[in-house]
Structure formats: structure tokens, C-alpha cells
Amino acid sequence: MSVRNGRQFISIPGPTTVPDEVLAAMHRPPIDIRTGELVEITDGLLQDLRNLCQTTGFPNIYIANGHGAWEAALSNVLSRDDKVLVLESGSFAAGWGQAGATIGLDVEVLPGSYQKAVDPAAVEARLKADVSKDIKAVLVVQVDTASSVVNDIPAIRKAIDNAGHDALFMVDTIASLGTMPYKMDDWGVDVTVAACQKGLMMSPGLSFTISNRKAKEKHTHANLRTAYWDWTARDGEEHYHKYAGTPPVHHLFGLQKAFEMINDEKLENVILRHHLLASATRAAVSKWCEGGVLSFNIPDPSQRSNSVTTVLVNDEKALNEILNYCDEKCGVVVGIGIAALSGKALRIAHMGHINAPMLLGTLGAIEMSLQALNIPHGKGGVQAAIEYLAQNVSV
Amino acid sequence: MSVRNGRQFISIPGPTTVPDEVLAAMHRPPIDIRTGELVEITDGLLQDLRNLCQTTGFPNIYIANGHGAWEAALSNVLSRDDKVLVLESGSFAAGWGQAGATIGLDVEVLPGSYQKAVDPAAVEARLKADVSKDIKAVLVVQVDTASSVVNDIPAIRKAIDNAGHDALFMVDTIASLGTMPYKMDDWGVDVTVAACQKGLMMSPGLSFTISNRKAKEKHTHANLRTAYWDWTARDGEEHYHKYAGTPPVHHLFGLQKAFEMINDEKLENVILRHHLLASATRAAVSKWCEGGVLSFNIPDPSQRSNSVTTVLVNDEKALNEILNYCDEKCGVVVGIGIAALSGKALRIAHMGHINAPMLLGTLGAIEMSLQALNIPHGKGGVQAAIEYLAQNVSV
Amino acid sequence: MSVRNGRQFISIPGPTTVPDEVLAAMHRPPIDIRTGELVEITDGLLQDLRNLCQTTGFPNIYIANGHGAWEAALSNVLSRDDKVLVLESGSFAAGWGQAGATIGLDVEVLPGSYQKAVDPAAVEARLKADVSKDIKAVLVVQVDTASSVVNDIPAIRKAIDNAGHDALFMVDTIASLGTMPYKMDDWGVDVTVAACQKGLMMSPGLSFTISNRKAKEKHTHANLRTAYWDWTARDGEEHYHKYAGTPPVHHLFGLQKAFEMINDEKLENVILRHHLLASATRAAVSKWCEGGVLSFNIPDPSQRSNSVTTVLVNDEKALNEILNYCDEKCGVVVGIGIAALSGKALRIAHMGHINAPMLLGTLGAIEMSLQALNIPHGKGGVQAAIEYLAQNVSV
Amino acid sequence: MSVRNGRQFISIPGPTTVPDEVLAAMHRPPIDIRTGELVEITDGLLQDLRNLCQTTGFPNIYIANGHGAWEAALSNVLSRDDKVLVLESGSFAAGWGQAGATIGLDVEVLPGSYQKAVDPAAVEARLKADVSKDIKAVLVVQVDTASSVVNDIPAIRKAIDNAGHDALFMVDTIASLGTMPYKMDDWGVDVTVAACQKGLMMSPGLSFTISNRKAKEKHTHANLRTAYWDWTARDGEEHYHKYAGTPPVHHLFGLQKAFEMINDEKLENVILRHHLLASATRAAVSKWCEGGVLSFNIPDPSQRSNSVTTVLVNDEKALNEILNYCDEKCGVVVGIGIAALSGKALRIAHMGHINAPMLLGTLGAIEMSLQALNIPHGKGGVQAAIEYLAQNVSV
């Protein structure tokens, strides 16, 4: 017996739900890749990326996932044995650092925690200690998809400035872009890394770097550059140069539509929608936590992201039962804990193409599972989410 | 400010949500219509229709909506000035009767109510009174989409039998098929009328009649038959005869996929899913009714259908505000009251391609609206639905 | 061994190739059927139909194939036992007449031939003989899909006028609309019948009637009207009245896109394209006919349609081999002869979404088959088509 | 005036026509990326790749275009300053070499020509001269998309063996795989590079490397490995490791369908179809060449590929007019000359999802253009293609 047959709900933190409009935009025959419409699409996308990051910088579109963009970002601005400082706050900054190590960087991790955001004071202190300016770049994620923490990017910028350090400031926005404010120029970010399959609502397969003038200047001296990732090569005259070869035709069709949807809604409204839905999620989870089995991975409410909520479950058997129940009985795929939280948490993604009924349906399935499985929890989680939204979505 | 941008939820009682798989099945080039695959598809669909109605009877597929099938059913078995008895229980049996009047039938309505099911005793009494056997057919709907009542088809059959009457028993299952049991042969139905856009999850544009031997025999004498609807013409040798002309290629592709999904889930499970989701809906609505503004259109719980729930709202301004809020703030299109209930009710459809999170999301949006608009209601409607499902969907 | 695997070519006279854009337009979730976008789509389509037929008349959109529209047209303007005169020139006018007979009309066929167009002089003579004005309507097809003849509609109008007869002039344009000029108002047509799956490039399932004031006036007295087809009922206030029930949501999406494509190309260019491709087809077929096995079904070149070319093959075994070879070896589905030409002809459709390479590919496959099967034919058919096009498609 | 409005024909050598079935397979919501169906799809694809290359080796699927796979192949088996020998025969081997130079390889080009295949004797001579075995890898393309030459891979293998050299033999099959025989194991290829958007009929965005045991052994010592491309990292336990991050969900759906189509047709039939269509193309081009303006870029018929035919046009104005005419008048996008042949040639792609009518339509458009533009050419090119096919496609 199940009540799962209907549209599957996917609440994993990437790929997120791809809008029907985007899938439809991808469903057309290939077109010429050298002239005409596709060239215009590329130009439009580059401007859309700038607008999204609030920058006048230089965007690149890679056929790659986010891990590819990590490598692209580092190889374009750094040289062998350069030291980079990785600011830990979960799993992904560390992963970026490990990728850097494989291409020949000297990676130092500023120790952090899965349970809290990067401490700007610690950054400042470490950079002040780097009197010889060995550190060439500081790497951080805005949101860590594993821990669900959000880091305070302007505060970290300030820490770098306070230390009087000129390292490049490189920010991975893969799990945050389109879900919360990001102001590359105002915040003094030198290189932004992004990808398409979370807040941007696209089928995975594209990732992005955006660089400012300072990064471009560093690029001219970088010796880790390779043909596939190289910004300069991608500045070539021909359209295919922008993709170092055959362009990803259908993904460009899809991304164009996704940006059209974001632009139609307006970025500030998109971000507000994420804030409201994330807050509603937290209202529900707070209730559930009263039972003592579930708890927020990020104790400090101000450090919880608008993209995803990582919920610790202190009983692995119960955790697996919840995930199975949601999937098999209700048709809802809830995200699992990964890396250090593997087997210890579930993750509720609330980013991208998501609205109130999608979120309430997802939360409803989870609450069904808690109740059906007799897992101690505060009742009325969904009720709390409904109340939060009703109070905050103005008539 | 809105939290509507995500997948639109459509909770109107037809067309219902079309599964992505069905839309995808319709997205292919046309094929030859005289031989090969399409002929096999038709044969398969005819058998699927038989299985769905639990009959060994004779199905026909019309390019038409349900109103077309009404005309098809009547014109194939009746002659000018034949009397038919229409059993009222909302809007649709009456509509069927009106269609019959336009083609030359003598239509008598057995008066009923929008608030309750057909009374089998009244049917029996009326038929007993028809000593001259003037009544050639008895027309009824299993579920009335306007009132959301469900009629007891076997009980009505019994009433006919008790009256010793041989009128044809014709049942419109447009709003019920695939959502609750329907046993054409066991229940002694002579002609079934159905359509594709509700429980069958298809894009509107196809409707069906299924007849048994008795109806086929009557058919041979009927003088209202016309080329487009005629069963005999549609029994012709060529494939196109089955559609009285060019077959509806893409709709056949889609319907094939819809039946594949029903068969994969198994009909009994499909029906059980509808029962559970309808019951959960009623649990929520019951709560809301405590506020005195909302009430069930069908007072008798045993007469509420598993397809749709009609909810009276005793304040037209509030009703419109609810509908607007759900749509504009939440992305949920809730059904409006129609016919006698226009401006007096909303309708929550829970049929076809629907699962727990879709329903809970829809109910959540409605509850948000009640709260945001300060419409008196019992709180915890969604909570009640969740509890019902958690208790009844076995682990 | 085959060279068939690629896009299947479908050269049957309906359904024709559905543009990818149209299929894509149909691939989206259903929307509300009572207000908003769908209502606007309907309004736009009704105007598009008027423009296409060059009329200020009254269009209706039916969920039905062309045979349904036949019944709709007749039942809306005629009464039981009215006499109609059917102008034979192949299979379809006769079919329309037979449909009329089933609904109670007195059908007289003006004998014609599968090999030539209706003779206006014969029409005039017959109508002049009808001194008592018993004939209430004259029925003709503009193009007969079976014979591939084109009738001269203005000349027939003139014949009616010359006879001083006031019968309704009813024209079936199912196989001609969008492929050649059709001027309903200028030509004095009272009722036009059309369908979507040929020149209009749509998936089958919609058909149309368009009436002028004279027809509308006759409508008020017609006693064959039935609920499903009735123009007056379809003029009701609610959007669903226009479809006598649930609207065919996805077909409306598709038809909207098809009209958008026609409007983008401009109707006069669409018609010119058909003229060029039909002429090229005839250039190829003329060559092939030199072998003595193939011949045009319509001897008079001026009576050959721009939609389809019926080619007689005086050897049924050879005919079947050609059809099989084209399909199995080349992936081209060529139309078969139907009705009186069953087993005697093939039909090459050149209407709707078709361009030079699609036509040349189709003709190429047929010429391959003639050669591979050693069927006597003049060589260079495709070459002749290429030459015709090169000379007539201005640089 | 144009006859272009119908399905656009795309005859560029990548991306090639994507089958409707493949586009449809990509049109579905994302699914879970950690378990279930997607994991099985990956496993199936890896086996399909092995079968396609006739190897028991080790395939990897990259989110990248072919240029990405170039970098992947080199970085996984080589170390900084390793010498590689690039066998020139057009544009692409040289491009691969240039990519190698950017990652730190010492690249030597064995000079060749755009007009002919690599000379195995020259390879043998060069390798024999490398007595110190400095050359660590030999790089060649099976088909060069620019020149349209096909290289003799087994003969080059033999040359390497004759020289007694143990350099890795690395073959780029991007423009040949699925269009002609390729036997990685039998032919002793150590690393194969491939991509999805040509013979594999997919939307661009995936590329592949396949390595044998010898290459895997070299891999363990290679110091150019980076996180994104690294084979060992991609051998990790988790499904996402295979893609170094988020899997390209929709591209995997599409590729699965493409392989299903290849497997249904059977690889040997796919290759035979390509041989027949390429030969037909050459029959047409041979005719046209009689006019003195067009000529084959590859003079030696035995060195012409089954994927693409590069045709020199000795008049740039005429060349541009042909390309424009085909596009604007006929809806056929013909490939342009690139690299050294920019402005000097056109390219007719005949690979992937292509059948007789698609090819004949394309050739027909080109012949139309030659005639309409009064460009001297031998007439009857398409006629010759038809004759070739009719003679060689057995009844």
C-alpha cells in the first residue's frame, strides 16, 4: 500500500527540480553552432551570469560539473606550489582544496567545523600571521551543501582587508547562487565559482567561473592553465572557443530558459521566496526537534542557509526508515547526509524551482514518516510551516 | 511577494495532472495510421478499457470529450421520442439528459438534490409506475463532478431489477473511473460512458463508450445512429473505421502510457490510493469546517466521492479570496463551484496522478489561505490529513 | 541491409509531419480551463481560422476528426429529409454525403469521376433543373485526398449563381487549407469544413466549421442540431461552451503554435511553397511515367492539387514492392491508394511542414525503389524536380 | 520565396541530428543520483562503450566535450615534459597536441597534410629514430573532421610495432566511432578518446576515454593527473565519483537511448549504413566535380571517411552563396570548411542518425544551389547517388 504514485518530489540538494519549461526548452533539434541563434544565446547567458552575481566581471561557461569549475578557477589564477588557504565549514571547501592539491597547489586548511560558519576573526588572524604573503588565495563556500551552513562572505572579505592581505578571494556559490544575496563586486570577491543544477534549476552539466580584473591580472602569470579551462583561450574570436570545442547546445537552450524564469520573477523576489520557504522549513524542523531524535546540524539559527537544511537524526535505523518511507510510501526523495554526516543526517533541499505546495508536500511526507514510524517528534511541524507562511506571505 | 514559483499544482476536477511520462509519450512524430504499431495500440487500449471496467463488453474510443460520448451512447441505442429517465444528483446527469433532448429523446428527470445521492427506492418506485415500459433507458452518473456525490450503482441496478424493468442501465463514469471500484458486468450496467482526462490522467480529447450484448442488440434497432458515433460503422475492417476517420495518433500514444502506469500500479492499488487521499482530504476539510464558514456539500460521509470534494463556502468574497490566494500566492489552482454551486463552493480534486505530497501541498495552500485571510476555520486541517495517512499507510 | 535508420519520413496525406515546435508546444502540464491563458488561446485560434479562410464568418473548433466536422456542418444548417447535392470527384464528397444520409438527409450524388474535377456546367444544369428548390445544400471538396484532384470552387459558385439557386454552398477544405488559396467570403462559400492534421501541421484530433451569415440564418431553423455539434450552444458565455465540455488543452497549445508558424511564414508564402513543391513532385512523376507503369491519376495537369499527388501503378505487386522498399529500406512511408484506388495507386503527400530536402528525400527513395526493383520508369525524376526548383526558387 | 519551411536539415559534422527518441529520453525530471536507476544506467553505458570499441578496457564518461577528453586522456597517462608524437592529417591531431603542450608535454608533430592520411612508413621511421625511447605516446585521429581523411589505425599500430617502440598508442575516434569499424583491442590501441555528438547521435556535452591495462599501468606513474579527470578518483565507490561530482543526469538518459538505438540496429548494420551513404555522397560529389569548381579535399578515394566529406570550392564567393542558398532557400545547414580550409571548402556530414532520404534531401539542396547559382558542375549528382544506393541496397 502506498500513496506515492503521482509526481515524484525530489528534495535533494542538487540536481533540484528542473522546471517543465526548462526541460521543454531542451527538447529541440540541434542548431548550427558557428553563427546565428546560438551565438546570441551565449552572449545573453554571459550577461545573465553577470547580473546574477551583481558584477561587471568576466564569466565563463564550462561543460563540467562544479568540481570541474573548481579546477578551472584555481588553474586560471595560480601557479604550481602556490599556497591557498581553505576555510573549512563542512565538506565542500575542503573538497575544493583537495582538488587544488592534485594540480600542484600547497593547500592549508583553516580548521572549522561541520556545525558552524567560518569565523572571520580566525581568518584575519591567520592572514595577519602570513607576513611573507605566501598565501595566494583564500577559498570558501558561501553555503556548504553538506552542513547547510551559510558563511558571511562580506565579513570574511573584511577580515582579509583587516589583515592587509592581497590574496585572491575565491568563493564557491554553487549551493547558494539564486537562493540568497550575492554581490560579487560590492563584496570584493575576485573569483566566483558556480554551477547550474541547484538554484539555477538546470539539468547538471554546466558550471561557471566569474573573475574580476584583479583575477584576470593574476591569470596572465598563472602557470597551471590548461587548454580546456583556460580563460584566455576561451576569449578567442570564434564561438566555439568559448566552450573550448563543441558547445553544449541543449544545455544552453535550457539555461537560457532558466534565466528567463529568474528574470521574469526578478532576482530579489526569487531570493525572498527562498527566505520564506527556508524559514518555513526551519519552523517545521524546530517542532520536530522537540522529540529529541532530530536536531539542526547548525545550532546557530543565523548560520542556517536558505538552500538546504541538514537535520541530524540520532538513530541511524530511524534515519533510514524515514528516508525509505518518504520515498516508497510518499514518492518524496529526501537528501541523505554525506561526508562526515553520512548515516547521521537527512537534508531537506529548498532551492530552485520550489513553491509553497512543493515544500509543504515534502514536509508533510516527512511528518507522516515520523508519525507512522513512531519516531519521537514534536507534532505540528507542517502546521508551524503553514502558520509561518500565512503570517509572512502578505495578502 | 509570493511563494508560487515552482511546479503549478492543479487541483481542478479535470483535466487533472497529466503525468510527465504521458506527456513524453505524446511527444513523438506521427506514424502510419493504417498498419503496424498504431493498430496494435488501438487493440491494446480496447482491452485496457475492458479491464478497467471489468467487463467483456464492447468498447469504443471517440475523438470527443465526455459530452460527445454522452451523445454517442444515447444515439447508438435509442430511437426518436424514446423516453429516458435521468437520475439527478448534481449537475451532470441532468446535462446528459439535456443532450438527449436535443437529439430527440423524451427526457424525464427523477428529481434529486445537489446534496445527496440518488435514492434507489425512488428509482424503483418510478420504474414500477412505468407499467407500459415507456422508459427505455435509465441514466445516472457514478460520481457527479459538481456536487462530488457518489451514487450507489449496484443499489440502483437492484432497484431496476426489483421493478422488473428492462430499461437499459446507462452509467456515466467520467469522474469516477480509476478512482473507485466499477464492475460493469457484475453490476449489470448496459452502457458505460467514460473519458480520459480525470482518473485516466490524460490530456482531454478522448472519450469512451462500452456496451454489453443487451445494448448491442438495442443498437440494431436504434434510429438515432449517425455516421460519426455509430458503433457498427466503427466495427469496420479498416483501422480508421474505429475512429470514423483519421485516428488521434498522439492521444493514443498518451493513453497507452497512462494505462501502462495504471497497470503497473495495479488497479486495486490505484483505487486504494484514491480512497486514502480522499479520506485524508475529508479529515482536513472536517477540521476547517469547525469555523462555520466552510462545510461539506455532501452531508452524508458515505456519499462523498473519492475523486473530488466539494466544499461550500458561505461567503462569496471569502471564497474568491481563497481561490486567488491559492493561485497567486501559492501556485495552486483549486476548482471552483459550478452550475448551482457557482460562487458558493470550491472543489478539491484528488484523482488521477496524485500522491501524498501533492495532496498535502494543495491542502497546505488552502490552509495558508484560510489563515492569511482570517477566515474562521478549525486549525490543523493538514495536520489531520497527515495523521490520517500516517495511521493508514502501513509501514 | 537498409539505409532507413534516421528520421522517418512520412509522406501520407494526413496526418502530415508535425513540426517539432508544435510537438514541443503540446508538451506542458494542463492549465486552468475556465479563465486566463486558455481563453485567450481560443480567441486567438478563432481569429487565425478566419484569417486562414479569408472570412469574417463564424468559426467553431471541434474535438473530432474531419468526419465529425462533416456531421457538425450538416446538422447545424439542415433539417430532416432536406435534399443535398453531393459533387463527386473522388472519395470524400461521397463520404460526406453518406454521413449526411445517416442523419436523415436526402442525398443525391452528381456523378463524377476519380480522374477529374467536378464539372461546373453539370452543377449548373442540375441546379437549374431543380425548379422547386428542393436542394438545400451543395457539398464539394476543394481537394479530394484520394484522387488528388482539385476542384474549382469559384467556378462552382458561379454555376450555382448562374442557376439562380439559393442552396447553401458547403466546401470541405480538409485536404487543401493552407496549401492553396481559399477565399471563403470572396468565393461565396457558406460553410467551410476543415481539420488540423494536413496543411495545418497538427496532430489529428481537431476539426472546424466556419459559417457565414446566411448559414447562421439557416441554422436557426435547422432541426438536426444536437448538443455536441450545435453552434448556438457553443456560443455560450463560458469558455467550456466553445468545446461543449472540457477543452482539448494540449491540442489548443499545438494549434496555436502551428498558426504562429504559418503566420510567421505568411500565408501567401506558405501557399507558394506548396505550389513549388507540388510542381517539383509532378516534374519527377512525369519522368517516371515514361516507363509506362506509373501514371498520374488526374490526367489534366490543371486539376492536380498542391497537397497530394496520386500516382497509378498498373501492377499491384510492383506497387506493394515500392511501398515496402520505401518503408523498410529507406524509412519513407508513402501513402497508399484508398477507396476505388486501393491496390492501384500510391499517393505522395506534399503538404504542411515540408521543404525541399524533405520532398527530394521522399522522391529519392521512390526513385531508388523503382530502380532497385527494376520497375520500368523514366530515369531522372528527382533530377527533374531539382531542376524545376532551381529554376523557380529565385536566388 | 523559399522552400525551406519544414524540418531543418543539419549536415554539419557535429553536433549531428539528435534522434527524436533521444531528445524525448532527455525530457524527464531529474532522479536521485546516489542509488537506483541512475547507477544502473551508468553501468550499462560503460558496457555499451566497451562493446562499441570492441574492448575489455576501462571506460570513463566525462562531462566535457571532446577537447576535455583530450586533456583527460593525456593527463592520466603522462608526466610533465614527456614527449608525445602527433601524427598530422588535418586539424584535430594538431589541436590535441596543442592541448598537450599547455599541460606541460613536449609535443612533436610528424608533419602531414590536409589532403592525405598519415603515412605509416613515416611513423615507423620516426619511431625507429627514437632510440632513447623519449616518445611516450603517439597521438592520431581515426577521422579528421576538418580534412575528412580516415587514417589506417591498424597500419599505424603495425608501424609502431615494426619500430619496436613501446609508446602508448592514443587514438581520437570522436569523428569516426559508430561510423566505421574500430577494434580497440585487436588493433592494439592503448587509449581511445571519443565524444557523444557525432556518430553517437547525442546532444554535445559528454566525452569518453577508454584505456587498456598498459595505459592503466602508465597511469599509476603519471604526474599530470588532476582531480577532475583522474581515472583513479573516478574509480571510487560512490556513484558520483564516476563523474567527479554531480552526474549529468539528462545526458545519461539520452546516451542510454542512443546506445539502445545502435544496439537495436546492430553495430555492423550501423557501420554498413554509413558506408553506403558515404559512398552515395561520393558518387554525387564526383559528378559535381566534373564542373571544375568543386573537388574532393582527399584525392585518394581509399582515404575518404564514412563520416564526412570535405569538398573544396575554388571560389569563395560561390562557396558562400552555396551555403546561404542551402540554408535560406532549402533549410539545409551544410558544414563550412574550418582551420586551413576556412573559406575554401564545404563539408557534408553523413554520420549518426541519417538515412537515405535525409542524405538525398541534403544532396538535392546542394545540387539545387549549384544549378540556381550557375556554378559549373556535372549534373546528375543526386541521380548518381540514387543509382549507387539502388544498386547496393539489396531488395
Tens-place pLDDT, residues D11-20: 999 999 999 9
Going by C-alpha positions, the residue among D64, D196, C62 that lies closest to residue A69 is D64
The Cα A41–Cα A249 span in angstroms is 10
List CB contacts (< 8 A) between C365 and chain D. Answer: 356-357, 360
Q: What sign for the dihedral angle of Cα C73, C76, C77, C78?
A: positive
Q: Which one of B4, B32, B358 would you mutate to disrupt binding with C, by most C Cβ within 10 Å of its Cβ? A: B32
Given D247, D263, D279, the domain boundary residue is D263
Q: Looking at residue B123, which CATH number applies to its domain?
A: 3.40.640.10
Q: Are the beta carbons of D103 and A227 separated by less than 8 Å?
A: yes
Taking phi over 0 as left and psi of -120 to 50 as alpha, with beta for the rest, D31 belongs to: beta
Task: Write out pLDDT tens, residues A290-333.
Answer: 999 999 999 999 999 999 999 999 999 999 999 999 999 999 99
Q: Is residue B49 part of a domain?
A: yes
Looking at the structure, do residues A284 and A373 belong to the same domain, yes or no?
A: yes
Looking at the structure, do residues B109 and B239 belong to the same domain, yes or no?
A: yes
Given A200, A228, A263, the domain boundary residue is A263
Of D27, D204, D245, the CB nearest to A248: D204
The Cα B194–Cα B174 span in angstroms is 4
List CB contacts (< 8 A) between B2 and chain A. Answer: 269, 273, 393
The Cα A358–Cα A336 span in angstroms is 19
Task: Write out pLDDT tens, residues A9-24.
Answer: 999 999 999 999 999 9
Q: Are the beta carbons of C380 and D382 separated by less than 8 Å?
A: no
Is the peptide bond preceding residue A376 cis, with omega within 30 degrees of 0? Answer: no
- State the smallest CA–CA distance between residue B284 and chain A in angstroms: 12
| End-to-end Cα spacing for chain B | 39
Q: So what's the pLDDT on residue B203? A: 97
Q: Is residue C22 part of a domain?
A: no
pLDDT at C350 over 90: yes
D127 close to D180: Cβ distance less than 8 angstroms? no
H or E stretch covering D324: helix D316-324
Q: Which one of D329, D360, D377 would you mutate to disrupt binding with C, by most C Cβ within 10 Å of its Cβ? A: D360
Looking at the structure, do residues C81 and C147 belong to the same domain, yes or no?
A: yes
**Residue C264: how many CB atoms within 10 A of its CB?**
10
DSSP state for residue C152 in the 8-state scheme: -
Task: Write out pLDDT tens, residues A325-380.
Answer: 999 999 999 999 999 999 999 999 999 999 999 999 999 999 999 999 999 999 99
3-state secondary structure of D149: strand
Average of per-residue pLDDT across B311-318: 98
D202 close to D251: Cβ distance less than 8 angstroms? yes
pLDDT at B395 over 80: no
Q: What sign for the dihedral angle of Cα A33, A36, A41, A46?
A: positive
Closest chain D CA to residue B20: D28
Average of per-residue pLDDT across D336-356: 98
Task: Write out pLDDT tens, residues B158-189.
Answer: 999 999 999 999 999 999 999 999 999 999 99
Task: Write out pLDDT tens, residues C88-129.
Answer: 999 999 999 999 999 999 999 999 999 999 999 999 999 999
Average of per-residue pLDDT across D85-105: 97
* Chain A residues within 8 angstroms (CB to CB) of chain C: 20-21, 24, 27-29
Of A276, A357, A390, the CB nearest to B361: A357
Q: So what's the pLDDT on residue D394? A: 79
| End-to-end Cα spacing for chain C | 39
Given C244, C263, C282, the domain boundary residue is C263
Q: So what's the pLDDT on residue D107? A: 98
Q: Are the beta carbons of D68 and A244 separated by less than 8 Å?
A: yes
- Per-residue pLDDT band at B394 (split at 50, 70, 90): confident
Q: Are the beta carbons of C24 and A21 separated by less than 8 Å?
A: no
Question: Rounded to 5 degrees, what are φ and ψ at C210?
Answer: -130, 130
Q: What is the DSSP string of A192-256?
A: EEEESSSTT---S-EEEEEE-HHHHHHHHH-S---TTT-HHHHTSSSGGGGGTSS--HHHHHHHH
Average of per-residue pLDDT across A241-263: 98
Residue located via cell numbers 558571511 = A152
Q: So what's the pLDDT on residue A162? A: 98
Q: Is residue C2 part of a domain?
A: no
**Residue C49: how many CB atoms within 10 A of its CB?**
24
Q: What ipTM does this complex have?
A: 0.97
Closest chain C CA to residue D357: C361
Looking at the structure, do residues D290 and D243 belong to the same domain, yes or no?
A: no
Of D17, D67, D249, the CB nearest to A228: D67
- State the smallest CA–CA distance between residue B293 and chain A in angstroms: 18
Of C6, C364, C369, the CB nearest to D382: C364
Of A7, A372, A380, the CB nearest to B393: A372
pTM for the predicted model, two decimal places = 0.97
List CB contacts (< 8 A) between A329 and chain B. Answer: 356, 393, 395
- List beta partners, residue B85: B108, B138
Q: Chains touching chain A at 3 or more Cβ pairs under 8 angstroms?
A: B, C, D
Looking at the structure, do residues C157 and C293 belong to the same domain, yes or no?
A: no
Which residues, at least 6 apart from B268, have a Cβ–Cβ distance to it below 8 Å? none
Looking at the structure, do residues D47 and D188 belong to the same domain, yes or no?
A: yes
Domain count, chain A: 2
List CB contacts (< 8 A) between C34 and chain B. Answer: 336
- Segments in chain C forming alpha helices (H): 20-25, 37-53, 66-77, 92-102, 120-129, 153-162, 213-219, 231-234, 249-265, 267-289, 316-324, 330, 356-372, 381-392
Q: Chains touching chain C at 3 or more Cβ pairs under 8 angstroms?
A: A, B, D
Average of per-residue pLDDT across C174-188: 98
Q: So what's the pLDDT on residue B275? A: 98
DSSP state for residue C352 in the 8-state scheme: S
List CB contacts (< 8 A) between D28 and chain B. Answer: 20-21, 24
Q: So what's the pLDDT on residue A377? A: 98
Name the average pLDDT for chain B: 97
Average of per-residue pLDDT across A78-95: 97
The Cα D230–Cα A102 span in angstroms is 9
Q: So what's the pLDDT on residue C331? A: 98
3-state secondary structure of D256: helix
Looking at the structure, do residues A381 and A244 belong to the same domain, yes or no?
A: no
Q: Are the beta carbons of A250 and D203 separated by less than 8 Å?
A: yes
Closest chain A CA to residue C30: A20
Q: Is residue A21 part of a domain?
A: no
Q: So what's the pLDDT on residue B342? A: 97
Q: So what's the pLDDT on residue B316? A: 98
Q: Is residue B141 part of a domain?
A: yes
**Residue A132: how many CB atoms within 10 A of its CB?**
7
- State the smallest CA–CA distance between residue B275 and chain C in angstroms: 24
Which residues, at least 6 apart from D395, have a Cβ–Cβ distance to it below 8 Å? C321, C325, C329, C372, C373
The Cα B100–Cα D157 span in angstroms is 82
Looking at the structure, do residues C294 and C329 belong to the same domain, yes or no?
A: yes
C282 close to C150: Cβ distance less than 8 angstroms? no
- List beta partners, residue C139: C86, C170
Residue located via cell numbers 469558455 = C239
Of B355, B365, B368, the CB nearest to A6: B355
Is the peptide bond preceding residue C299 cis, with omega within 30 degrees of 0? Answer: no
**Distances from the Cα of B43 to the Cαs of B38, B140, B207, B216, C206, in angstroms?**
9, 29, 16, 20, 23
* Rg of chain C, C-alpha, whole Å: 21
Average of per-residue pLDDT across D49-61: 98
D354 close to D348: Cβ distance less than 8 angstroms? no
Q: Chains touching chain D at 3 or more Cβ pairs under 8 angstroms?
A: A, B, C
- State the smallest CA–CA distance between residue A387 and chain B in angstroms: 7
Closest chain A CA to residue D31: A10
Average of per-residue pLDDT across D373-383: 98
Q: So what's the pLDDT on residue B1? A: 85
Q: Are the beta carbons of A27 and C28 separated by less than 8 Å?
A: no
Q: Are the beta carbons of A64 and D63 separated by less than 8 Å?
A: yes
The Cα A9–Cα D47 span in angstroms is 31
The vertex-D273 CA angle with D21 and D184, nearest 5°, equals: 90
Q: What is the DSSP string of D209-247?
A: EEE-HHHHHHHTT-S---TTT-HHHHTSSSGGGGGTSS-
Closest chain B CA to residue C102: B226
Looking at the structure, do residues D240 and D270 belong to the same domain, yes or no?
A: no
Average of per-residue pLDDT across C135-148: 98
Q: So what's the pLDDT on residue A46? A: 98
Q: So what's the pLDDT on residue A383? A: 98
Residue located via cell numbers 604526474 = D223
Q: Is residue C1 part of a domain?
A: no
- Whole domain around residue A175: which residue ranges? 31-263
The Cα A338–Cα A136 span in angstroms is 30
- B92-102 and B66-77 helices, crossing angle to 10°: 50
Looking at the structure, do residues C190 and C105 belong to the same domain, yes or no?
A: yes
Q: Which one of B8, B260, B368, B387 would you mutate to disrupt binding with A, by most A Cβ within 10 Å of its Cβ? A: B368
pLDDT at C394 over 90: no
- List beta partners, residue B296: B311
| End-to-end Cα spacing for chain D | 39
C-alpha cell at C208: 472546424
Q: So what's the pLDDT on residue C1? A: 85
Q: Is residue B304 part of a domain?
A: yes
Q: Are the beta carbons of A27 and C24 separated by less than 8 Å?
A: yes
List CB contacts (< 8 A) between A20 and chain C. Answer: 28-29
- State the smallest CA–CA distance between residue B8 and chain D in angstroms: 15
- State the smallest CA–CA distance between residue B320 and chain C in angstroms: 14
DSSP state for residue C239 in the 8-state scheme: G
Of C20, C21, C28, the CB nearest to A20: C28
Average of per-residue pLDDT across A228-234: 98
**Distances from the Cα of B99 to the Cαs of B48, B71, B139, B230, C226, in angstroms?**
28, 7, 12, 17, 7
Looking at the structure, do residues D259 and D113 belong to the same domain, yes or no?
A: yes
- State the smallest CA–CA distance between residue D361 and chain B in angstroms: 19
3-state secondary structure of A334: strand
The amino acid present at B189, given as its one-letter code, is V
- State the smallest CA–CA distance between residue A253 and chain C in angstroms: 13
Q: So what's the pLDDT on residue A107? A: 98
- State the smallest CA–CA distance between residue D159 and chain A in angstroms: 30
List CB contacts (< 8 A) between B277 and chain A. Answer: 3
Q: Is residue C113 part of a domain?
A: yes
The Cα B135–Cα B108 span in angstroms is 9
Q: Looking at residue C322, which CATH number applies to its domain?
A: 3.90.1150.10
Looking at the structure, do residues A289 and A152 belong to the same domain, yes or no?
A: no
pLDDT at D395 over 90: no
pLDDT at C395 over 80: no
